[in-house]
Chain A
Amino acid sequence: MVGPAPGGGSPLENANPLIYRRSGERPVTAREEDDELPDSIDDREIFDLIRSINDPEHPLTLEELNVVEQVRVKVNDAESTVVVEFTPTIPHCSMATLIGLSIKVKLIRSLPERFKVDVHITPGTHASEHAVNKQLADKERVAAALENSHLLEVVNQCLSARS
């Protein structure tokens, strides 16, 4: 479902990307330390889940490449929906599907089952936006992709904590 795997010796598509500043750790508030009060799942919490995902071809995170931004994350805790838009660094990025898949897998692994997760490309930022969105929205194709051990390896590398 995804184009050529990274690291195959082909030159990078975007060898010199613009790098953005990382946002700091979310400070822990007194309210969060009070065991009695519930904290609802908010945009920042979802953003924290995906901002540290590694880019498949650069030693940088999606946040540093500005592929994901907090303003493009929408969550509704009561209705159990999450919408994430991501922006490929260049309009022809062949990694777009892989990045979308990584975000989707990360959210599926980290969110309660009640959530419906929608991951798609920021409108107007990719040449084959429609095809990629369709691929990402198709449950069957996502599940099939994760059966492929080579693809799973690449996704896991994106999700591994950087040492």
Chain B
Amino acid sequence: MYKGGSHSEPCCVKGVTVSKALSCQGSECSPAAAEGTGAVSWPLGSASCRSGPRVLWAPGSWLCCPVQVPGPSGRCGLSPQSWGSNMLDVCFRAVTHLVLFYENRLKDHHLVIPAVLQGLHALSMCEVLAPGLAVSVLKAIFQEVHVQSLPQLDRHTVYSIITNVMRTREEELKGLGADFTFGFIQVMDGEKDPRNLLVAFQIVRDLILEGYVLGPFVEELFEVTSCYFPIDFTPPPNDPHCIQREDLIVSLRAVLASTPQFAEFLLPLLIEKMDSEMQSAKLDSLQTLSACCTIYGQKELQEFLPSLWSSLRREVFQTASERVEAEALAALHGLAACLSRSVLSSDTEDLLDSFLSGVLQDCRHHLCEPDMKLVWPSAKLLQAAAGASFRAGHRITSSVVPLLLEQYNQHLQSSQRRTILEMLLGFLELQQKWGHEDEEESALLCSQAPLCSVLFSALTDPSVQLQLVGIRALTVLGTLPGWCLPGGRGEAGAGSSGGLSGYGPVSVPCREEGRRSTHSLRARCLQALAAVSTHPGIVQETVPVLLQCLRQVPKAGACDVVAVCQSLQRVAVQCQRDAESCWYYHQTVVPCLLAVAVQAAMQENAHSPVGKLLLEEEVLTAMVPVVSAASAHLCPELAAQSVSQVVPLFLDGEVSFLPQDSFPCPFQPFQVSGGRLVALLMAFVCSLPRNVPIPQQDRLLQELLALSCSCDCPFTATAAAKCFAGLVNKYPPGQQLDQLLETAVNRMEAGLAEGPLRTQALALLLWVTKALVLRYHPLSSRLTDKLLGLLGDPELGPAVADGFSLLMADSPDVLHKGCHADVRIMFRQRFFTDNVPKLVQGFHAAGPGVKANYLKGLSHVLNHLPRPVLVTELPTLLSLLLEALSCPDRVVQLSTLSCLQPLLLEAPHVMSLHVDTLVTKFLGLTSSPAMVRAPPAPFPAPLPPLLPYKPRVIRALAKPLDDMKRLVRKEAVVARGEWFLLGSPGR
């Protein structure tokens, strides 16, 4: 009946806000209300509402009592303050009348009720509701309406009314006392619709958290919500509301875990559900228990601890699923944490202590059983409990660690020993978590000696697996504070260096296979040495060992030297925090490295294999980060002292500060043999803080410039160019810098013009350009223009194109933030805006042979641009990128594909315009080798534009299915499978 009337415009109750999704669903809802304006406040202001009084219709043709409502509001230009008191009064009275009218209508025929509720809902948002009215509305609803017999939408309206009133009239509602709670319980009792449940759960949660009086109704409130636990709900297919099971679970959990008052009812329920067979019920109960533990205290838990523990223990011991096990462990962790938090009064029993005693009693004997069947579950339980707090950790570790040590000595097989050691490692790692709290009380201290001897026996065991676990444990021990007591440190250091010296000589005679394993063991030893070097005292022990390894080069191969350098670098990074050990490290390591390298450079003339090894690019490249890390964090005075020794070494061959005193001949750094060591010079001077003055800097720069342009060894020339660029980047601006750059540019231009050293000149140009681009120097645009011009050079073009990636990427050794270079943020964006138009222009003007160079340069620039910038800029470059897809160069193809990929994911509407070209080009690529890494998977563009291509793509993808490479076949299978599913039923 009222539906007929609802089509007329005046029927729209202005200010009604109905959630769109819900209102569109319920057929009872009037379409006019569903079109709802979305405005929230009442009275609602708009131009039309000022133009004349609004007529509010109660829906239903026989109910048309027009009511006059004035419609003023701040939005109409009239601020509330400017209303006369008369006006406000009128407003109050009108609303009061309306409310009374609606309240009376609640007693009317049941057909009217839905419309009345709509009206009350609108009024509940009204700001000028007189005091007391809201409460009387709720009372009327509680009394007159049997909510659960209404349709879903109207029940939702009731919940919305309650939510609104709770939001705005909290004080008045609290005045109602427990009656309100009781009323709500009656309203909610028996609710079944998930949409309504979400709102109702929210209301219950607010009731509890906002401190409404629950009175005698705690149990009722619990009953009315807990009857849904555990949630069993499968969303219907094509559900427009998108309510997932997970949503309901989370909101119900928030209710159940909101107050300790529920504890006495909730905990038995949880235990019962944990004991059920349903896995989802188990998971939900365990997660709810974890949530409860954050608010409960001892009092709530005390009674249920034994049954909780037996349920949790059963889940871990007999579990079929890893998720249940993980949740059970998390719940145990939560329980122990909760017990640890509680404040004890003097006469109560310490529940944590008795709880942990129970845990220990049930788990300890499993650790000792000879068949070791339940050791891992027991260890996991113990570790979960021990991780909860310092106290729990202390209690459990002090009992379990001695036991494990004893077990280790009883078992003789190395596989069993390994299991025990792995468990021990778990406890040591937990100790790390609490170690800082109180060093004196650490539970490990009393078993320090046996622990060290166990680790030592593990390190000297013939089983590699056991050794590896031993080294990991040693690494963890090294990070424990209070563990660097003289005895402990000595033994630990002796242990790992013992392992190292024990295995060093063995490696030589071993067969190929054996050598591989001892090599990995050596690498592990080196890593362990680096990892334990966390305190200045230990650093002074370990660094000499590492340097000793470095000097024993004849025995080792290049990869061993590299491994030593990696460990040294790790130590350097750990030293950076502490000024004292940083200086010690710098003083010890840098001269030693330089001495070893200088000596090698001198012996190279004598054709000794050692010299060759140390001068290999791989080895020098590994030394660079060591020197760099050792120098970057020096304080300026000490750095100045050091730089005054190193620079003369390279300029004048001043070797006196090096630890070795016998050098066969004078060192000539900028000559052929010594040139490679410029890499070490670069690592040192380019990492110094900007305020450290470099002696004879101009002379040094000239030498570097000359070396970089004249040396025919590419490694040396590049190192010199990098060193030059690193210094130029930090050079203070002014006339001197301009002069210096002028000289450099002249030399580069001469070098680039012709001759055998064009590549070297190009490297110099690239590095200097990078140095200037980073600091926004005005000359940088001239140099980039030069590079853009060289892209058209048939000989150098490809190298220049690759150089663009060097300009945009972070270089690992120089010109980055870590070595104090002058790097402006956004330099990439700036480079992009300045140079990409020129690149595009150059591409169009270039001859066919060199077009690819421009595309390659462009794709390097794009690849290093931050993704958000890229997605906004790319559409303009799209046609060029599509062109690049058919470029035969693999690098261009790959980088273009990686540019297009985010665009396909984030801007499918742009890409769908080009779908024809894209599909054609992608299919062309399927026969290219580049496809290995980026095959044409269907992209999430709107479906219809892709459908016409389906048969063609499926046919074309049949060919790579028979590719000779397995990786290609794998990607082709995935792509073809996706295309088969595209637009098919069952997707």
Contact = CB atoms under 8 A, between A and B. Distances in A.
Interface stretch (A33-41, A91-99, A130-138): A33-41
Contact of B985 (A32, A35, A156, A159): A156
Interface string A87-121: 00000000000000000001001111110000000
Interface string A143-163: 000000110111111011100
Nearest to B972: A110
- For chain B, the bracket of interface size reads 20 to 34
Given A109-B976, A159-B977, A39 B962 contact: no
A156 B965 contact: no
Contacts of A13: none
A49 B973 contact: yes
Given A49-B973, A110-B961, A155 B986 contact: yes
A26 B377 CA distance: 29
Nearest to B237: A7
A64 to B, nearest CB: 12
Interface string B950-987: 00000000100110111101100100110011001111
The A interface, classified by DSSP as helix, strand, loop or mixed, is: helix
Which residue of A28, A110, A114, A161 has the most chain B CB atoms within 10 A of its CB atom?
A110
Interface string B499-534: 000000000000000000000000000000000000
Interface string A17-53: 0010000000010001101001101000100110000
A93 B986 CA distance: 22
Nearest to A34: B965
A154 B986 contact: yes
B320 interface: yes
Given A149-B985, A154-B986, A156-B984, A32 B977 contact: no
Contacts of B929: 35
B932 interface: yes
Contacts of B981: 156, 159-160
Contact of A33 (B320, B961, B964, B967): B967
Contacts of A48: 970
A41 B972 CA distance: 14
A156 B984 CA distance: 8
Nearest to A39: B966
Nearest to B277: A16
Contacts of A33: 967
Contacts of B969: 41, 45
A14 B983 CA distance: 32
Nearest to B321: A19
B967 A28 contact: yes
A28 B980 CA distance: 27
A110 B977 contact: yes
A48 B964 CA distance: 17
A67 B966 CA distance: 25
B62 to A, nearest CB: 46
A48 B971 CA distance: 13
Nearest to B984: A156
B980 A153 contact: no
Contacts of B976: 109-110
A30 to B, nearest CB: 12
Contacts of A28: 967
A45 B966 contact: yes
B320 A19 contact: yes
A32 B986 contact: no
A41 B970 CA distance: 11
A160 B982 CA distance: 11
A154 B973 CA distance: 20
A32 B968 CA distance: 10
Interface in B603-635: none
A161 B234 CA distance: 21
Interface residues of A, number: 29
Nearest to B961: A112
A38 B967 CA distance: 11
Contacts of A160: 981, 986-987
Contacts of B966: 32, 39, 41, 45
Contacts of A150: 985
Contacts of A39: 964-966
B964 A38 contact: yes
Contacts of B962: 112, 114
B938 to A, nearest CB: 12
A109 B977 contact: yes
A111 B961 CA distance: 6
Nearest to B958: A113
A32 B987 contact: no
Given A19-B320, A109-B977, A152 B985 contact: yes
Contacts of B980: 109, 156, 159
Which residue of B929, B967, B986 has the most chain A CB atoms within 10 A of its CB atom?
B986
A70 B981 CA distance: 26
B320 to A, nearest CB: 7
Nearest to B976: A109
A142 to B, nearest CB: 15
Contacts of A113: 958
Contacts of B958: 112-113
Contacts of B973: 49, 109-110
B987 A35 contact: no
A153 B977 contact: no
B980 to A, nearest CB: 5
A47 to B, nearest CB: 13
Nearest to A29: B966
Contacts of B932: 35
Contact of A153 (B961, B965, B985): B985
A152 B984 contact: yes
Interface string B926-964: 000100100000000000000000000000001001101
Interface string B879-921: 0000000000000000000000000000000000000000000
Contacts of A159: 977, 980-981
Given A35-B929, A35-B932, A49-B973, A156 B967 contact: no
Contacts of A41: 966, 969
A115 B714 CA distance: 52
Contacts of A155: 986
Contacts of B964: 38-39
Interface string B287-320: 0000000000000000000000000000000001
A157 B986 contact: yes
B959 to A, nearest CB: 8
Contacts of A157: 986
A149 B987 CA distance: 12
A150 B986 CA distance: 9
Which residue of A33, A156, A161 has the most chain B CB atoms within 10 A of its CB atom?
A156
Contacts of A38: 964-965
Contacts of B986: 152-157, 160
Interface string A60-75: 0000000000000000
A154 B985 CA distance: 8
Nearest to A16: B277
Contacts of A114: 962
Nearest to A28: B967
A32 B965 contact: yes
Contacts of A161: 977
Given A38-B964, A153-B984, A159-B980, 19 more contacts: A19-B320, A28-B967, A32-B965, A33-B967, A49-B973, A106-B977, A109-B976, A109-B980, A110-B961, A111-B961, A112-B962, A114-B962, A149-B985, A152-B985, A153-B985, A153-B986, A156-B984, A156-B986, A160-B987
Interface of B: 320, 929, 932, 958, 961-962, 964-967, 969-970, 973, 976-977, 980-981, 984-987
Closest 4 CB pairs of A and B: A156-B986, A153-B986, A112-B962, A38-B964
25 contacts: A19-B320, A28-B967, A32-B966, A32-B967, A35-B932, A38-B964, A38-B965, A48-B970, A49-B973, A106-B977, A109-B976, A109-B980, A110-B973, A111-B961, A112-B962, A113-B958, A150-B985, A153-B984, A153-B986, A154-B986, A156-B980, A156-B981, A156-B986, A159-B977, A160-B987
